Amino acid sequence: MVGTLVNAAAIIAGSSIGLVFKKNMPEKYQDMYFQAVGLFTMLLGIQMAVGIVEHLFVVLSLVLGGFIGVWCKLGEKTDRFGNFIKMKVKSKNEHFTEGMVTGFLLFCMGSMTIVGAIEEGFGATSKLLLTKSVMDFFSSIMLASGLGVGVLFSAVPLLLFQGGITLLVAIFGKDLPSGIIAEIKVVGGVILLGLSLNLLQLKRLEIINLLPSLLLIGIFMWLEPHIICLWEWLKHLFG
């Protein structure tokens, strides 16, 4: 958990610096920043998604995960959570929840988050998450200067999500196949592509509703041998 704790601290520190810059940064520079970050996020998402192998499982995970997210009202609950924190800290920033959600997705959907949290769960090393912490520190400066204090509070869901992966792997994932990790990265890449559309203001997507897809793709990949056996049995039965 050391890497995740350092990562959260880096985001808090970077966001604090960004809030100082926010007061003096002209809007045209903020717009330019979001265009640049949006394009980079799109590139990162494509880079992660091109490693796709199990096309059927990925699309099933995204569709079913999206349905689960809508059914569970993840977007609405996230908004309520953001508004609750906003009220508690007495923030007047109208972009508070947007900043928190955008920061969380940007900091947590990359391959470094997934692979780094899994590596730390295996007890191997925290090096990848520590490297990510440096990158997130500088990213949070600019993101907070554009979206405000909500970015600082994205450290809270980051702790839960990234730390949760580490704990789950430490408890259950000692023999986690590399194929599962690869396809989780693919789904994370697709989610980043959706986030890039939001950052570029091309389309407003409820990306948070897709988060269950990350769990579903892991389950599908874990069950893959059994699904193949069932398919072969059905073909033999009806063939």
User: What are the pLDDT digits (tens) for 190-213?
Assistant: 988 998 898 888 888 888 899 899
> How many angstroms separate the CA atoms of 216 and 168, rounded?
15
CB atoms within 10 A of CB 236: 8
pLDDT for position 10: 94
CB atoms within 10 A of CB 36: 12
> How many angstroms separate the CA atoms of 96 and 218, rounded?
32
> How many angstroms separate the CA atoms of 161 and 177, rounded?
21
Give the tens place of pLDDT for each residue, 26-64: 778 778 878 888 898 888 889 888 888 888 899 999 999
With CA atoms as reference, report the closest residue to 189 among 23, 51, 75, 57.
51
Give the structural domain span for 101.
Answer: 2-238
CA angle 189, 81, 85 (to 5 degrees): 115
- Give this prediction's pTM: 0.80
Around 206, how many Cα atoms within 13 Å sit in the side-chain half-sphere? 17
Give the tens place of pLDDT for each residue, 133-163: 988 998 898 888 888 889 999 999 899 989 8
pLDDT for position 62: 95
148: left (phi over 0), alpha (psi -120 to 50) or beta: left
**Two structure tokens written together for 134:** 């440096």
**Two structure tokens written together for 194:** 């959706």
> How many angstroms separate the CA atoms of 175 and 191, rounded?
26
pLDDT for position 84: 84
Among 2-6, 23-27, 80-84, 100-104, which stretch is predicted with the lowest mean pLDDT?
23-27
Question: In the chain, how many domains are there?
Answer: 1
pLDDT for position 234: 65
Give the tens place of pLDDT for each residue, 87-138: 877 777 778 888 898 899 888 877 778 878 887 877 767 788 888 898 899 8
> How many angstroms separate the CA atoms of 139 and 103, rounded?
9
Single-letter code of the amino acid located at 141 = I
> How many angstroms separate the CA atoms of 191 and 193, rounded?
5
| pLDDT score of 239 more than 60 | no
